[in-house]
Structure 1
Amino acid sequence: MSRKAVRLLATGLVAVLAVTAAPVATAAAATPASATASDPFYRYSGSEPLSAFAPGTVLKTRTLQYHLVGLPTPVTAIQLLYRTTDAQGRPSANVTTVVRSLTGDGSKAVSYQSFYDSLSPEDGPSRAIAGDLSLGGAIANVEAVFLVPLLLQGYNLVIPDTEGQAANFAAGPEYATNTLDSIRAATRSAATGMNADTRFGLMGYSGGAIATNWAAALAPAYAPEVNRRLVGFAEGGLLVDPAHNLKYVDGSLVWSGVIPMAIIGVSRSYGIDLKPYLSSYGLEVYQKLEHGSIVDALGHYPGLTWKKLAKPQYADPNSVPAFVEVVNRINLGSAPTPAIPGYIAQGNGGVLEGTFSNRPGIGTGDGVMIAGDVRTLARQYCGAGNGSIKYQQFDLLSHVGVPVVWAPLAMSWLGDRFEGRSAPSDCGKIPAGNSLAPEKPVPAS
């Protein structure tokens, strides 16, 4: 693959941005079914059970042209079906995409975690790259704006379908295993040009930050050989304590639709049924979004609250034992501390997106993620012995505004880690935030 091919990809990206910007913001239709639903590449059909293979084992390989909005580009992509582990510890299969370095250098790579945020596997980045068209998949197309500069800097790219083939939105631990096993697979495949010595940086925003942070946190125990090759993680717009986020976006004009999306994705990941606690309206919303994406949720449920979704006796979400169990499992405040340097960015201008500017006990945020939670997590990492944490807060930017500023800073920060420069630290300078203590159940009314 040549630099000319990547420049052609960049040129195509300009057209993509023009075509997709309006639909992503305004479309109301649910994500349609796609031809890839029957694509045999996504299914493991071997005679041996998946449990017979180690996590990260490559099960299938295919090479294709990288697509933007369904149109092929001159860039070649390699897709791998690999063995991984779901949130319940069961073996599963997932897909990742690799784009090889322009220089043929297999020594460095960036694992980029997409913010495709969907409850439909048809919206995963591998599907968009393979040429599938779906409304939710438009996000993966737009994200090429972050990938082209990395290619031009000589990195290999690894782009996992972080949510897995069930699209379990917001289930951080499952995002982590999908990401870490994607790196394992990429370095075990002869087709990628990478190997066990390839160093990796982790990068992701929003939903991609969930995968990035959880992967960094779980790597020492789940994939120690991968952890030894990680140079650092760069992320922005991070979900830390989901119970806080529910209260923060409750009644929001734009982001309240994320509440049912998270309920569906996380309960699906852990095999927990929350439907018995939902009101008739809550069940109606559940059914509409069960296979929808973020574009089906944003702005479509203005003013939506937990109380509108739940039966009257469950007006307090902590009166639902299954809810308490789930949110505590995916609270990053209770997860291990990453052993690698980190750059964490967070917006704090959420009032611009119709979210209350200051929630009692929670404070402010970017419209969907809470700045106080992210600050506390960064301080927690520093206090636990990771002195290489950089925290940057953008007080005037909302969740959709931060990526424009964050992306080049994240790439520069990762570049310094690959060059072996000492990681900067904001430990001792990060303002205090919120308590990240686990939620406690309360009796139903």
Structure 2
Amino acid sequence: MRLTLIIAAGLALAFSLAGTPAASAVPADDPQPGALLAADPAPALIAPPVSLPGRAWSLLYRSTSATGEPNVVSGTLLLPPGEWTGPGERPVVSYAVGTHGLGDQCAPSAQLASGTEQELGLVQQALARGWAVVVTDYEGLGTPGDHTYVVARSEGRAVLDAVRAAVVVPTAGLSADAPVGIWGYSQGGGAAAAAAEQAAVYAPELDVRGVAAGGVPADLAAVFASGSDSPQATGLIVAATAGFDAAYPELALRDLLTPAGQALYDDVRDDCVSEIVAKGLPFTAEGLSAVPDALAGDEVRDRLAENDAGSVAPAFPALVYHGGADELIPATQGRGLRADWCAHGATVQYTELPGAEHVGGAVLGGPAAVSWLADRFAGLPAPTSC
């Protein structure tokens, strides 16, 4: 009954967004992760009124929360113009965006529809190769409920299930046997890493050829600690507090904040990233904590650790890249992830971008990530830094 209600709510959202019933809505009786619930032609704008060449669909699909509960996630499938002329099936890249915010209006599907998607330039590099790209909105960003921001376990599942849904869109012409690439940066890097670690068990039927994960917050407790006295990070840390409360209500992290911290927590829950950062600037996360070392409790640390990256080797090659001067997620995070995955027997190439801060790492690392994925699709041997 609960799954039926969740799916029904998702379909109702699809109808309300489209204005008319979804032309390709799928019966809501398939409980399997990745089941496509609705797929409809959608706008994808470079900037109004210029449309992205090719075709786009808005998707609703079944996924799984961090605690194993069924949920409904939205996303967008982008297909470049023209037929695929390369060998085999057209590759599918599951692209995981960086921090967009907590409000539904911040979802990449909404930003693509309005021509305001800041990461479109990266996505276009993949489309230019002739690949299909599916972009998840993650849990609670574009669908009912709160966004489970930086809860990598649910984000990774949403990334994998987006591919499962994309390859069965009736008019897209994709194949369930398509080679798959996973790519993301920042929040998306964490999601990509989580997808890579879960793929062999959660989605073993997918032919994943590689993961490119940049700016990964691999050790969340360490990331939060490093930003605890930085006003630039305050809003994002409070947003992460809300994200973990959404995934694990029993943590009640809001209760560990001062009155000013609770007010900021409530204020940013419907905001996009620029507003979240701006509203946090007058504060530090340390100053908003009502409890010394608020993350020291066993239950909190266990939940954070469940969403860290590095404990399981991906079953396919990985590219890990990081800005050497990243002010939000220190480069020690990328180095640590490389070391952990290598220790578990993975094939990992690590690239550090000298002098690059957080945003610069995304921009500078993007072309190399696309080239690296192209080599994986071509079947070339993967380089290693292990």
Aligned match of 2:110 in 127, 145, 148?
Answer: 127
Give yes or no for the alignment of 1:110 onto 2:93: yes
Q: 2:185 touches 2:214 (CA, 8 Å); kept in 1?
A: yes
1:393 aligns with 2:347: no
Counterpart for residue 175 of structure 2: 195
1:129-168 equivalence runs, <5 A: 129-131=112-114, 138=116, 141-164=117-140, 165=143, 166-168=146-148
- Residue 280 and residue 37 in structure 1: after superposition, are their counterparts in 2 closer, same or farther (change >3 A)? farther
- Residues 420 and 266 of structure 1: is their aligned pair in 2 closer, same or farther, counting only changes over 3 Å? same
Partner of 1:65: 43
Once the two structures are superposed, the pairs formed by residues 352-431 of structure 1 within 5 Å of their partners are 366-386=326-346, 388-427=347-386
Whether the 8 Å CA contact 1:254–1:300 is kept in 2: the answer is: no
Q: 1:43 to 1:237 in 2, by over 3 A?
A: farther
The CA deviation string for residues 107-140 of structure 1, in whole angstroms up to 9 with x for no partner, is 2121111114311122111122233x8xxxx4xx
In structure 2, the partner of 1:84 is: 63
1:259–1:102 CA distance, 2 compared to 1 (3 A): same
2:17 and 2:96 map into 1 onto residues whose CA distance is 23
Answer whether contact 2:264 2:279 (CA < 8 A) is retained. no
Q: State the distance in 2 between where 1:257 and 1:348 align.
A: 23
Residue pair 2:324, 2:331 contacting (<8 A) in 1 also: yes
Query: How many residue pairs end up in the alignment?
Result: 362
Per-residue deviation, 1:275: 2.1
% identity of equivalent residues: 27
1:287 maps to 266
1:385–1:396 distance in 2 versus 1, CA, 3 Å: same
CA contact (8 A) 1:41 1:60 kept: no
Structure 2: unaligned runs, 5 residues or longer: 1-12
Does the 8 Å CA contact 2:65/2:139 hold for their aligned counterparts? no
Give yes or no for contact 2:26–2:37 (8 Å, CA) kept in 1.
no
- Take 2:20 and 2:261, find their aligned partners in 1: how far apart are those partners? 32
CA distance, structure 2, for counterparts of residue 401 and residue 411 of structure 1: 16
Instruction: Give the whole-Å Cα distance in 2 for the aligned partners of 1:379 and 1:43.
Output: 50
Residues 11-63 of structure 1, C-alpha deviations (whole Å, 9 max, x = no match): xxxxxxxxxxxxxxxxxxxxxxxx9995268999x99876x421111111211
Distance 1:42 1:278 in 2: 44
Partner of residue 347, structure 1: 323
Provide closer, same or farther for how the CA distance between residues 327 and 201 of structure 1 changes in structure 2, counting only shifts above 3 A: same
Secondary structure of the equivalent of 1:282? helix
Within a 5 Å distance, the mapping from 1:276-355 to structure 2 comes to 276-302=255-281, 304-311=283-290, 314-334=291-311, 336-349=312-325
SS in 2 for 1:55: coil
CA RMSD of aligned residues (A): 2.6
Indicate the residue corresponding to 1:431 in structure 2: none
TM-score (norm 2): 0.86
Secondary structure of 1:298's partner? helix
Distance change (3 Å), C-alpha of 1:149 and 1:324? closer
What 5-or-longer segments of structure 1 have no aligned partner? Answer: 1-34, 350-365, 428-445
Secondary structure of 1:225 counterpart: coil
Q: CA distance change for structure 1 residues 36 and 182 in 2, over 3 Å: closer, same or farther? A: closer
Quick one: structure 1 residues 370 and 42, their matched pair in 2 at CA, closer, same or farther if it must change by over 3 Å? Answer: farther
- The Cα offsets for residues 141-160 of structure 1, whole Å up to 9 and x where unpaired, read as 12111122222221111111
The 3 A distance-change label for structure 1 pair 303 and 377 is farther
Residues 347, 371 of structure 1: 8 Å contact kept: yes
Does structure 2 conserve the Cα–Cα contact (< 8 Å) formed by 1:97 and 1:159?
yes
Q: Contact 1:87–1:269 (CA<8 Å) still a contact in 2?
A: yes
Q: Are 2:203 and 1:230 aligned?
A: no
- Helix, strand or coil at the partner of 1:162: coil
Per the alignment, do residues 75 and 102 of structure 1 end up closer, same or farther by CA in structure 2, a change over 3 Å counting?
Answer: closer
Q: Residues 69-124 of structure 1: CA distance to partner in whole angstroms, max 9, x if unpaired?
A: 55351542022211111112111111221122433224212111111431112211
Q: Give yes or no for contact 1:252–1:303 (8 Å, CA) kept in 2.
A: no
Task: Tell me the distance in 2 between the aligned counterparts of 1:376 and 1:424.
Answer: 18
Find the aligned partners of 2:197 and 2:220 in 1 and give their Cα distance: 17
User: By how many angstroms is 1:260 displaced?
Assistant: 0.4
Describe the SS at the equivalent of 2:147: coil
Offset of residue 412 of structure 1:
0.8
Compute the displacement of 1:333 (Å).
3.5
User: Which has the greater radius of gyration?
Assistant: 1
Q: Deviations over 1:179-214 (max 9, x none)?
A: 111100111222221111111111111111111111
SS, match of residue 196 in structure 2: helix
Report the AA paired with residue 177 of structure 1. Answer: R
CA shift for structure 1 position 411: 0.8
- Contact 1:306 1:317 (C-alpha < 8 Å) held by counterparts: no
User: In 1, distance between residues paired with 2:20 and 2:302?
Assistant: 31
Read off the aligned partner of 2:330 and give its amino acid letter: I
Does the residue aligned with 2:270 lie in a helix, a strand or coil?
Answer: coil
Match of 1:265 in 2: 243
- Name the TM-score, length of structure 1 as normaliser: 0.75
